[in-house]
Amino acid sequence: MSVIELDRATLQIGGRAVLKDITFAIEPGEFIGVLGPNGAGKTTLMRSILGLLPPSAGRLAVFGRAPRCGDASIGYLPQLRTVLPDLRVRGLDYIASSMHGERWGLPSLSAVNRATIEATLDAVGARDLANRALSDMSGGERQRLLLAQALIGDPKLLLLDEPLISLDARHQEVVIDVIKTVCRERKITVLFSAHELNQLLGAIDRVLYLGNGQAELGRVDDVVTAPVLSRLYGTEIEVLRAGGHIFVLSRGRDVERADHMHDHGHDHGHAH
Amino acid sequence: MFQYEFMINAFAAAGMVAVVSGIVGYFLVMRGQTFAGHALSHIGFAGATGAGLIGLAPLWGLVGFTLAAGIVMGLLSERINNRDVAIGVVLALSLGFGLLFLHYYTSFATQATALLFGNVLAVDHAMIATLAALGVVTLVALAAIMRPLIFASLQSELAEAKGVSLRFISTAFLAIVALAVAACAQIVGVLMVFTLMVGPAAAAQRVATGLWAGLVLAAALALGEAWLGIVIAYHTDWPVSFCIAVLSALCYFAALAMPRARLAHAH
């Protein structure tokens, strides 16, 4: 049984079809890199898989059934928001807020839950973050904390929305490495959205490229080609391979890099 | 000092309101909605003066308007989130309406200063009972939604994915803030609600890292500032709200100046 299966599915936001008539299937244990220009539907797809946005047409199945909110078998790492500078919440309290955070009443943290949080932080090499304030953490540390949180409850599917954003190259590698190792060990299926393909090349099994309302899932060599990307970007695209790197160019400009810059100048809160 | 009944009343009323304000304010600061709290108090001013105009007790006009405005702001939160300009325009409009109502009900004008800047020394037993009831309702409602409120405040996307209704939480919370603001305005006035709702909570949030420690500290700071403010006012004859505002500002800036215990980390 596929972990995620879309059969001629259309995903709409406010009457606009972000993804149209999409069909693909993701198998257990796959590490999928999700790429595409801003607004191509990376976040929208993840929100649909989480059960927040039912397809307006076609079928979307997660673990063989319609997705529902609060499914414990899905771990989710949303796109990083800016943290209020005065908010001195400890890493432990931050994660604790997410454990049964949907229940009414006063917050509480049982010894069992505390042990679970600490064990998961250990697994991503971030035990020391439990007692540090969120506002004092670097971008890389925060991503590790969020990754640990996403792993709680032993999910079988992990949705990681731009976990590399605002990290420098070295920390990007560290984060990818941690995710790859932990997910291989636990046989977790991963959807990992990113702006740049190159850092992910060593980690991903297949790539899911979104753009122009369409989606293309396949091996990097089959998908990241001039004809496929030209169709997805809706413009003439050149693909150059050099020294183990892949460069996606539009009229001589690196589209991934341009996208990345663009994203930093604007509000991160927008749906992609 | 305690031989006067109005002083005992002032301590009782200010104490209750300060604790409620400090606790509710903690979440207001956590959610980055302090400006919304400020706006609610101004909207309350129009309600209070409007109530005076039609012969109702100003407090109920205040409660009614802040509550209605809080609920509307919560329901619209997706659209007005971080729209400081929109909130600011409504805030100014409300003050304008307050002024209009005062204009037509001139005998009420003597109470305008009390509404704007508070008059804790004039609190009577009936007001204390009302404030206590408001405080209890506020805290009970807050306790009921505290867990999903914290989750939604810290990680809204994830909370939504786990089935928390962000709109409900946002609306319920702003309704709670509205009640706290109405109570707080009785002590320090609608213009100075920040002194008890935001100052102590913001200071506590910078100093304490644990949730409960932060909440207790916010309540304790607000209580200390309110009571000490009354004591200072008693001995100096300065307005109580001024004394509380000074203490609130001092506490906040002291918290800002406190060196943060940063651990040196490689990443």
Look at residues B178, B181, B169 and name the one whose alpha carbon lies nearest to residue B67. Answer: B178
pLDDT confidence of residue A269 = 40
Whether pLDDT at A257 is above 80 = no
CB A220 within 8 A of CB A44: no
Cβ pair A102:B159 closer than 8 A = yes
Q: A122-175 pLDDT, tens per residue? A: 988 889 999 998 888 888 888 889 999 999 988 999 999 999 987 888 888 988
Q: How far apart are CA A101 and CA A72, in angstroms?
A: 13
Whether pLDDT at B263 is above 70 = no
Mutate to test the interface with B, among A80, A94, A106 (most CBs of B within 10 A): A106
Closest-CA residue of chain A to B147: A107
List, in sequence order, the alpha helices (H) in chain B: 5-30, 34-53, 58-75, 77-80, 84-104, 112-117, 125-154, 156-161, 166-188, 193-197, 199-207, 211-236, 240-257
Taking any CB pair shorter than 8 Å as contact, residues of chain B touching chain A are 29-30, 32, 143-148, 150-152, 154-155, 157-164, 202, 205-211, 214, 260, 262-263, 265, 267
pLDDT confidence of residue A267 = 40
pTM of the model: 0.89
| Cβ-based neighbours of A56, under 8 Å, separated by 6 or more | A10, A11, A12, A17
CB A166 within 8 A of CB A119: no
Cα dihedral A29/A256/A178/A85 (nearest 10): -130
Q: How far apart are CA B176 and CA B66, in angstroms?
A: 10
Burial of A40 (0-12, 13-18, 19+ CB in 10 A): buried
Q: Look at the block and give the residue holding tokens 């420690």.
A: B213
Mutate to test the interface with B, among A89, A95, A193 (most CBs of B within 10 A): A89
Q: Which fold has domain A4-73+155-264?
A: Rossmann fold (3.40.50)
Q: A91-100 pLDDT, tens per residue? A: 999 999 998 8
| Cβ-based neighbours of A108, under 8 Å, separated by 6 or more | none
Look at residue A116 and give its three-state secondary structure.
Answer: helix
What is the rounded average pLDDT of the residues A63-68?
Answer: 93
Across A222-226, B108-112, B223-227, least confident range? B108-112
pLDDT confidence of residue A272 = 41
Evaluate whether ipTM surpasses 0.90: no
CB A271 within 8 A of CB A44: yes
Q: B39-92 pLDDT, tens per residue? A: 999 999 999 999 988 888 888 999 999 999 999 888 887 665 566 787 888 888
pLDDT confidence of residue A54 = 94
Cβ pair A93:B29 closer than 8 A = no
Domain boundaries, chain B: 10-194
Percent of residues, chain B, with pLDDT higher than 70: 93
- Helix axis angle, B125-154 relative to A91-98, nearest 10°? 90
Helix (H) or strand (E) holding A230: helix A226-233
Instruction: Give B260's contacts in chain A (Cβ within 8 Å).
Output: 136
In angstroms and rounded to an integer, the radius of gyration of the C-alpha atoms of chain A is 19
Q: B142-161 pLDDT, tens per residue? A: 999 999 999 999 998 899 99
Cα B82 → chain centroid: 19
B211 — phi, psi (to 5°)?
-65, -55
Range A244-250 contact pairs with CB under 8 angstroms and sequence separation of 24 or more: A244/A201, A245/A198, A245/A201, A246/A197, A246/A198, A246/A201, A246/A220, A248/A197, A248/A224
| Cβ-based neighbours of A58, under 8 Å, separated by 6 or more | A6, A7, A8, A9, A10, A21, A22, A23
Cβ pair A97:B150 closer than 8 A = yes
What is the average pLDDT score of chain B? 89
Q: How far apart are CA B223 and CA B238, in angstroms?
A: 19
Looking at CA atoms only, how far is residue B231 from chain A in angstroms? 31
Q: How far apart are CA A23 and CA A60, in angstroms?
A: 9
Q: How far apart are CA A177 and CA A249, in angstroms?
A: 27
In angstroms and rounded to an integer, the radius of gyration of the C-alpha atoms of chain B is 18
Q: Between these two residues, A22 and A136, which has the higher pLDDT value?
A: A22
What is the rounded average pLDDT of the residues B205-234?
Answer: 94
Closest-CA residue of chain A to B157: A78
Look at residues A64, A20, A2, A52 and name the one whose alpha carbon lies nearest to residue A206. Answer: A2
Cβ pair B146:A106 closer than 8 A = yes
pLDDT confidence of residue A169 = 85
What is the rounded average pLDDT of the residues B8-28?
Answer: 96
Whether pLDDT at A262 is above 50 = no
Q: Look at the block and give the residue holding tokens 């306790």.
A: B143
Closest-CA residue of chain B to A140: B267
Q: B93-122 pLDDT, tens per residue? A: 988 998 898 888 776 667 788 888 888 988
Look at residues B209, B187, B212, B208 and name the one whose alpha carbon lies nearest to residue B197. Answer: B187
| Cβ-based neighbours of B118, under 8 Å, separated by 6 or more | B185, B186, B187, B188, B189, B192, B240, B241
Q: How far apart are CA B199 and CA B197, in angstroms?
A: 6
Cβ pair B209:A87 closer than 8 A = no
- For chains A and B, what is the number of CB pairs under 8 angstroms? 104
Residue B29 is which amino acid?
A: V
* Range B10-194: architecture per CATH: Orthogonal Bundle (1.10)
Q: How far apart are CA A222 and CA B4, in angstroms?
A: 86
